[in-house]
Amino acid sequence: AQVLTEHGGGSVQAGGSLSLSCVASGNTYNSNCMGWFRQAPGKEREVVAITFLGGNKIFYADSVKGRFIISQDSAKNTVYLQMNTLEPEDTAMYYCAARHALYDIYCTERHPFNYWGQGTQITVSS
Q: Please write the tens of the pLDDT for every residue from 45-83.
A: 999 999 998 777 899 999 999 999 999 887 888 999 999
DSSP symbol at 112: P
pLDDT at position 107 is 92
The mean pLDDT value of the chain amounts to: 92
**Which residues are registered as beta bridge partners of 80?**
21, 71
pLDDT at position 28 is 63
Q: Is residue 102 very low, low, confident or very high in pLDDT (cuts 50, 70, 90)?
A: confident
pLDDT at position 53 is 81
Higher-confidence residue of 27 and 45: namely 45
Amino acid identity, position 18: L
Residue 99 CB neighbour total at 10 angstroms: 20
Q: Is the pLDDT of residue 32 over 80?
A: yes
Residue 15 near residue 86 (C-beta atoms within 8 A): yes
Residues 6+ apart with CB under 8 A from 20: 6, 7, 8, 9, 36, 80, 81, 83, 94, 96, 120, 122
d(CA 120, CA 18): 12
Q: How far is CA 60 from CA 3, 7, 63, 70, in A?
A: 24, 20, 8, 8
Higher-confidence residue of 31 and 32: namely 32
pLDDT at position 29 is 63
